Amino acid sequence: MTRRLPPAPTDQYVALPEARLVTTRALLTARENLADTINARAMMCLHGGAGFGKTVAVTSCLRALEPDEDIRRITFHARPTTRAVRHELFIALELPGQPPRYATEFDHLLKNTLATHPRTLVLDEAQWLSSDQLEYVRYLWDDPCTQLAVVFVGGEGCHATLRKEPMLSSRIFIWQRFTRLTPDEVLDVIPLYHPLWADADPADIAFADQHAAHGNFRNWARLTAHTRTALHRTGRTHVDQDVLRWAFSRLGTGS
């Protein structure tokens, strides 16, 4: 799937009214790393477990650069061929006409296009890329005329996948690993994430994290949605452990 950066309302994993983007240490670090990578027209890799907030961090940080920066994103959901990567780039760059039939002609077109002005290419779920496709990205970036910054974003396997390619990994300007929120970070950021948690007892927030969310933002999004439903249906106004246990039962985890 190719596109420019998605609109801000789609950042949340679930449709959750009043949810806010919260500034974590990882997001602040990503903002600096992305800015430095783009200024250097370099490549970086941002990786970590599912639900840790990688894609939201990248899109929210890069969105602040638009329209000054030409940013294109490709998301991979299966292992592509190199030909498929060429076609994804053709679509992402919004090139006119039909894609060229022959690889040499296709490569010439892509390199000429990438040489016209600076661009940033975000490759999401980059762990799906094989050696040939990673080498192709490096080939485009290495061309002295292209003005390309590349951001690889991926799950736990992304780091290992890129590290297996010496020619590519030696060119990665910045590596950043996203991890779970620590218990202290949870208490700092979750009350800011949604009004539902703003007045919650910190002990209840810690209880929810320990039994269900585990420092994972995607888990917190689901838990918040179910807790919001529980409050609405019971007529309660504040989170407590009874409400949380009902929400846990929907998540298939916790006590």
Q: What is the CA radius of gyration of the chain?
A: 21
Q: Which residues of the chain have pLDDT under 50?
A: 1-2, 254-255
The CATH superfamily holding the domain 2-178 is P-loop containing nucleotide triphosphate hydrolases (3.40.50.300)
pLDDT at 18: 86
pLDDT at 2: 46
pLDDT at 149: 96
**pLDDT 10s digits, 73-130:** 999 988 899 999 999 999 999 999 999 999 999 999 999 999 999 999 999 999 999 9
Domain edges within the chain? 2-178, 183-251
pLDDT at 192: 95
